[in-house]
Amino acid sequence: MKHVWMTLFIALTPATAFAGEAGRVVPQVIETLPPTIGPVAVNMGESLPVAIPDTIAGVSIGSSRIANVAVHDANTLLITGRSYGSTSLHVFDPLGNVVVNTTVNVVDGSTTRLRVNRAGSDYSMQCAGSCQAAPHVGDNSEYFESVTEQAQMLSE
């Protein structure tokens, strides 16, 4: 019975009684978490605009080998997939608070890419109507270098 009375006493006593000084209110400390955005999936070699609800003052990408990030305007990021994998993305507001803490996954979401495997080597093709050589990360190195060299010669 003694415990019941003590519990009731504590439950009904105002918070100011435990503040240490009479009349002072103890502020509640509630950690605010960054808004949930993501994880973000972007295709390799493509750029994806991402709207951020807060003003962007700074960004950090875990590995620039996997993805690139650029600030387009005060509320828009452009994320570009560079190579397959996952990395972290942090966005900061003008006060230095982290407003976005998420993961960027670089994937192959192409519906027109065809990968042919011959004798253990991969050869990528882009098939939109008809198929054309389109070397990709992980392809046979001779094939990759040959097609890339030809494309560079055409662009000169």
Pairing of strands 130-133, 76-81: unpaired
Class of domain 40-107: mainly beta
20 or 141, which is more confident?
A: 141
pLDDT confidence of residue 47? 94
Residue 15 banded pLDDT, cuts 50, 70, 90: low
pLDDT confidence of residue 3? 53
Element spanning 152, H or E: helix 141-155
pLDDT confidence of residue 78? 95
Say how far residue 26 (Cα) sits from the centre of its chain.
Answer: 38
pLDDT confidence of residue 67? 96
pLDDT of residue 5 exceeding 70, the answer is no
pLDDT per position as a tens digit, 30-88: 455 555 677 999 998 899 999 998 899 999 999 999 999 999 999 999 999 998 899 99
Domain ranges of the chain: 40-107, 113-155
pLDDT per position as a tens digit, 80-137: 999 889 999 999 999 999 999 999 999 988 888 888 999 999 999 989 889 999 888 8
> What is the pLDDT of the chain when averaged over all its residues?
82
- Going across the sheet that includes 121-128, the strands are 113-118, 121-128, 130-133
Residue 6 banded pLDDT, cuts 50, 70, 90: low
Q: Up-side HSE of residue 25: CA atoms within 13 Å toward CB?
A: 3
